Amino acid sequence: MKYFGPLFYLILYLSPVSSQSLEDVARAKEITWYGIDFSETRFVNFDNELSAKSLTDSLISRWSLYPLSPEKNAAICKMYLKNNLKLNDHSSHMRNISIDYSNRLVNSNYNLDDEAVRNIISKYDVNGTGYGLLLVVEEFEKNSNRAYIWVVFIDNTSKKLLAIRRYICDSKNGDIENRWLGAIDLALRYGGKILRAIR
């Protein structure tokens, strides 16, 4: 289990960023959804509750598709002050389905750093104009019922990363799928708060 002092409960990493850049993202009427990247995720201390087969056959896909339901799509637009959520999740989808998840079920903690997240995003097909949003999941940790998730804002034209935030996100009650959807939902809410705070 990872331990942090109280000041690190919510935000564990803040990238240097121009406030003007985020103001531009906040004012934009549309944002591109690049998906949820599980390519480097570790699932810690799940023992027999998770298997590589259950991750590959159903859970990764269901977690990835969650933000794309009509109801959730509308909720994300509201969270991020947008009229439209444009879909471009091909890169995250291809990365997620290429992973051997048997190597991701572990009993010790795993950390991504800023450089590792930037390296992941460098492999993405970022294109078009406007701004993009991507979640990178570092770890689901069963014993603490917490996820560690990076929220990333991207300038589509320049491919520049405008902001990177690393959050602790508590899971919620329910079966294994819905428990960790709760953590993903919390990361999405935190990302929206970034924009609403500067609008």
- Pair of tokens at residue 185: 């939902």
β-strands 146-155, 161-170 pairing:
antiparallel
CA proximity to 66, closest of 44, 104, 33, 95: 33
Both tokens of 188, joined, read 């999405």
pLDDT at 10: 52
Residue 3: inside a domain? no
**Per the domain annotation, does 15 fall within a domain?**
yes
Does 4 map to a domain?
Answer: no
The predicted-structure confidence for 77-114, as pLDDT tens digits, reads as follows 999 999 999 999 999 999 999 999 999 999 999 999 99
| Enclosing domain of residue 153 | 9-198
Residue 2 domain-assigned? no
DSSP bridge partners of 152: 134, 164
Give the total number of structural domains in the chain: 1
Q: Following DSSP, what letter does each residue of 107-154 receive, concatenated?
A: SS-----HHHHHHHHHTS---SSSEEEEEEEEEEETTTTEEEEEEEEE
Neighbouring CB atoms inside 10 A of 136's CB total 26
> How many CB atoms within 10 Å of residue 1?
10
Q: What pLDDT was estimated at residue 9?
A: 38
- Exposed/middle/buried for residue 124 (C-beta within 10 Å: 0-12, 13-18, 19+): buried
pLDDT digits (tens, 9 = 90+) for 123-137: 999 999 999 999 999
Is residue 1 domain-resident? Answer: no
| Residue 20 in this model has a pLDDT that exceeds 70 | no
The predicted structure's pLDDT at residue 69: 87
Which helix (H) or strand (E) segment holds residue 72: the answer is helix 70-79
- Whether residue 5 is predicted with pLDDT greater than 50 in this model: the reply is no
pTM to 2 decimal places: 0.91
108 in any annotated domain: yes
pLDDT at residue 198, rounded to an integer: 83
